[in-house]
Amino acid sequence: MRQRSGKTIIDVRDLVKRYGAVTAVDGITFSVDGGEIFGMLGPNGAGKTTTVEVMEGLRQADGGTVTVAGIDVSKEPYRVKEQIGVQLQATAFQPHLTCAEVIEMFAACYRRPIDPLVLLREVDLTEKAKALNETLSGGQRQRLSRRAHDRPRSAGAPAPVGSRAPDPGSWHHGVPDDALHG
């Protein structure tokens, strides 16, 4: 179990989001420290997804402030997207791409030159590197997604992937040193 860093990674203050006459998020405030496990619970329509979409920079807030990794989401949504990874409930990748190509595509979005085989090895999918992503089982797709979207949540090591906890010294901003090119 990781210890909390004490450094605030997510800070949401008085967040408001409206869709016409409907207020989906009404003044929510919370913060999350590095290493802390945080979840949002509530019934359908409570604003959980909308809150996360604002935090990701996918939706503009109507009020309040959101910072992620010290970045104001409303002012620099693209910088936030470079720092975060999102694991969706249902994984869907561009069809007709191999697993290695999926990793390369996401690395390009983050402007990260990497070796996809190294990253696929981290989630036990090396043998699937040349397989089309749509041929993977549900569990394999989740592992591929987790690795494709992996970004650091704090300086140093990322959260453990799969069943092995990586050595923090061998990681650079969430990517193993041996996966980096250049």
Which residue reads 């996918």 in tokens?
Answer: 58
pLDDT in tens, 120-129: 998 899 999 9
Question: In which band, very low, low, confident or very high, does the pLDDT at 147 lie, cut at 50, 70 and 90?
Answer: confident
Neighbouring residues of 165: CB distance < 8 A, sequence distance ≥ 6: none
What does the domain layout of the chain look like in residue ranges? 8-83, 99-179
The string of pLDDT tens digits covering residues 50-81 is 999 999 998 999 999 999 999 999 999 989 88
Q: Does domain 8-83 have CATH number 3.30.200.20?
A: no
In this predicted structure, what is the pLDDT of residue 107? 82
Q: Indicate the SS3 state at residue 136.
A: coil
The alpha carbon dihedral of 31, 8, 159, 136 has a sign of positive
